[in-house]
Amino acid sequence: QLQLVESGGGLVQPGGSLRLSCAASGFILDYYAIGWFRQAPGKEREGVSCISRNGGSTNYADSVKGRFTISRDNAKSTVYLQMNSLNPEDTAVYYCAGTWTSQAMCGMGQYEYDYWGQGTQVTVSS
């Protein structure tokens, strides 16, 4: 069974950077598209970014374009989310999620994903 574990969250000042990691086990990561989602207090969960199974296709929410970069290292069974120029609006619990796919693309809808990590807190505050 696919298991995902996020790490790398924490407290950072506005303008700072963090790199989140999503470590996968229990399956071959090459067959799965991975998405990053976030949920702020009182708000619905939203898609942040996703990456296709081979890394050839990525998508980003408009709010993070140009600031966040998603990447993957299938040999290490890990997907990363590099977050730069963070602002308080980025404060949320960040989740990674996976879905098996034969397609060379990925989607940003949470209902497209079957496996979820437990989340990692990101707080942007001075």
Report which residue type is found at 76: K
Separation in Å, CA 83 to CA 28, 29, 40, 51, 57: 26, 22, 16, 15, 18
Which pLDDT score is estimated for 121? 98
DSSP per-residue letters across 76-111: GTEEEEEE-S--GGG-EEEEEEEEE-SSS-----GG
Which pLDDT score is estimated for 1? 78
- Please give the DSSP secondary-structure letter assigned to residue 36: E
Which pLDDT score is estimated for 97? 97
pLDDT, tens only, 16-75? 999 999 999 988 889 999 999 999 999 999 999 999 999 999 999 999 999 999 999 999
Is pLDDT above 90 for 84? yes
Largest CA distance in the chain: 44
